[in-house]
Amino acid sequence: MRQVRIGADGPEVSVLCLGTMTFGNQTPEAEAHRQIDMAAERGVSFMDTAEMYPVNPVRAETVGRTEEIIGNWLRKSGRRGDWTLATKAGGQGGQARGGEPITGASIRRALDASLRRLGTEHVELYQFHWPNRGSYMFRQNWGFDPSRQDRAAILANMAECLETLAALKAEGKIGHWGLSNESAWGMAQWIRLADEGLGPRPIALQNEYSLLCRLYDTDLAELGHNEQVTLLAFSPAGAGMLTGKYVGDVTPEGSRRVNQPDLNGRMTARSMAAVDAYLKIAREAGLDLQQMAIAWTLTRPFPVLPIIGATRDWHLENALKAADLVLTEDVLKAIAAAHKAHPMPY
């Protein structure tokens, strides 16, 4: 599988990343281990997780279960060296660690707990799952209100976190770090403070990005290009909508929609109309919709690497084929036209 570098000086990894957020809930441990085996056999070398996983739903009693499942595989296989591992610390208001905010002290506690569960002494990429101040991701963009933010307090917290990250990097517990569900302003401040010598530069930003969710396409795309920050695109198949499995308003057994009927705000009349448009493009080109959607992310004019996740191994097997799929100019033009006809469907 083709290799790419994360950021300017991060690790070189496979062009697809294995997502794990269903491990321990929708995906039982034995199935999760089969998925890791399958991904490794196909050349995937990058795996992403988080302390709060599994999801759908997120529950305090299951926090850390996904990391434990991955740790069990690593111990059983002895193949830690084959993988670049990424995990995340939950932010303020989450289920992990009582919902405490991200601070210098909480970063260290969260990381140490993740390392124990994963059974490793370090992770190559450590990420903050969402900002303490909140985020416009997860459909919160429709009512986003930054007017209550305290700039001085935010910057002071960033400085404290960068100091801790520098120490953790020096201790060998993390190789690099990144953000998730962050904004252009937030990323710019982290980079500015790092460049002023307060700590290491972030190399990646993990935000939702797909044919249906293109908030990244303007300011963040420009930042990603000029600052060499790689987008780790989660939900590149639109939370399963871009597989076509929900067409006709159906709810397949075992799917995310069983627990989230509206897919956390993604399932709307407008989004289903957009799915129909993309499905038509795929069928006319003789393509699988999910593979087309994932392959499309790899054509974007900024550094990007899609995270693919699956509840079952045959879902993963299909998604992995996107790594070698080259979309024609006709398909790309049709996708661009469909996007203009169905902008921001959720």
Distance of CA 327 to the CA centre of its chain: 23
Other beta carbons less than 10 A from residue 61's beta carbon? 7
Q: What is the pLDDT of residue 44?
A: 98
Give pLDDT, residue 254: 80
Our answer to whether residue 53 is catalytic in this structure is yes
User: b/e string for 102-139 if b means 16 or more Cβ within 10 A?
Assistant: bebebbbebbebbbebbbbebbbbbbbbbbbbbbbbee
Q: How far apart are CA 287 and CA 277, in angstroms?
A: 14
Model confidence pLDDT, tens digit, residues 137-151: 999 999 999 999 999
The pLDDT, as a whole number, for residue 253 is 85
Residue of 294, 295, 298, 9 whose CA lies nearest to 125: 9
The predicted model scores a pTM of 0.96
User: Hey, how many other C-beta atoms are within 10 angstroms of the C-beta on 313?
Assistant: 17
Q: Which of the residues 53, 126, 278, 346 is marked catalytic? A: 53
pLDDT at 188: 98
pLDDT at position 213 is: 98
Residues in the chain: 346
pLDDT of residue 255: 85
Cα distances (angstroms) measured from residue 122 to each of 23, 93, 126, 138, 281? 21, 26, 9, 30, 44
Q: Cis ω on the peptide bond leading into residue 202 (within 30° of 0)? A: no
Structure-block tokens of residue 343: 């902008």
Low-confidence residues in the chain, pLDDT < 70: none
